A = this chain, B = another copy of it.
Amino acid sequence: MTGRLTILGLGPFGPDQTTPEAATALNEADEVFGYATYLARVTPRAGQKLHASDNREEIDRARAALVAASQGHRVVVVSSGDPGVFAMASAVFEAIDTGEPAWRSLDVVVLPGVTAMLAAAARFGAPFGHDFCAINLSDNLKPWSLIEQRLAAAAGAGFAMALYNPVSKARPSQLTAAFRLLSSHLAPETLVMFALAVGDKAHEHLQVSTLREAPEQQADMRTIVLIGTASTRSIERPSGRPFIYTLRHAL
């Protein structure tokens, strides 16, 4: 097997947040696979083929990319943000694990990227000043009871949190249920941050709220929700948004 498969993250939005190593690998690929929305960020060079697919088809997409790589192509699979965070890297390795034994001999490389929660955190200041966690709020691949267990464990132990995929059309009320659960562990004035479309200057929207007021805020699939801790502070300013940060030391 001489093919190569690179799984890379484009970063949160624009080319300014794509690492040079990811940009180079993307440019060198013959075949590029990805969710259509992310592939729309790629301008193909001459001779390069883009294979766009739907959001729900991760394993099929991974297999198609592995087939192309085993045919000797230089293949790239793109994700937004970082490819290892609720994105394509795990799907590709699952496809290898359950697929053709020969795929184990392929040269598979993962190139990290700036993940959405860190881009969102940076816009607010430094809400992850201390220990933190990332929780995918979608129950497509795990039971809601497990999500509840993780929210409670994280809140009880004082982790700041990033909630990925907080809402979808099929799951309109789970974020509200999450806030309700968190309210039994955290004070009502705990800071909650909503970051929509970070990096996309035309659509980016940032909102600072509290756990008490959070259920009234809007969120969608492009929103990352950040939950502060008892050590998260807001610095009010003469003009502009406040700076939000979490103390480095325990209270």
Cβ–Cβ contact B131 & A134, under 8 A? yes
Q: Which of A91-130 contact B (CB under 8 A)?
A: 91-94, 96-97, 104-105, 108, 110-115, 118-119, 121-123, 125-130
Nearest B residue to A19 by beta-carbon distance? B17
Cβ–Cβ contact A89 & B119, under 8 A? no
Cβ–Cβ contact B85 & A128, under 8 A? yes
Residue A82 at the chain B interface, CB threshold 8 Å:
yes
Residue A18 at the chain B interface, CB threshold 8 Å:
yes
Cβ–Cβ contact B104 & A112, under 8 A? no
Give the secondary structure class of A's interface.
mixed
A156 to B133 CA separation, bound complex (whole angstroms): 14
Inter-chain contacts of A243 with B (CB < 8 A) = 93, 96-97, 104, 108
Inter-chain contacts of A194 with B (CB < 8 A) = none
Inter-chain contacts of A90 with B (CB < 8 A) = 126, 129-130, 245-248
Cβ–Cβ contact A84 & B121, under 8 A? yes
Residue A136 at the chain B interface, CB threshold 8 Å:
yes
With A130-B136, A236-B104 as contacts: A112 and B17 at CB distance below 8 Å: yes
Chain B interface: which of A46-54, A138-146, A166-174, A206-214? A138-146
Q: List 29 A-B contacts (CB under 8 A).
A: A12-B112, A17-B112, A18-B19, A18-B20, A19-B19, A58-B248, A82-B114, A82-B118, A84-B122, A85-B128, A90-B126, A90-B246, A90-B247, A90-B248, A93-B245, A94-B247, A96-B243, A97-B233, A97-B235, A97-B243, A112-B114, A141-B248, A141-B250, A142-B249, A143-B250, A150-B157, A150-B158, A152-B157, A153-B156
Sample of 10 more A-B contacts, CB < 8 Å, known A16-B21, A83-B126, A132-B134? A16-B20, A90-B247, A93-B129, A93-B244, A97-B243, A108-B125, A113-B114, A150-B157, A154-B157, A154-B159
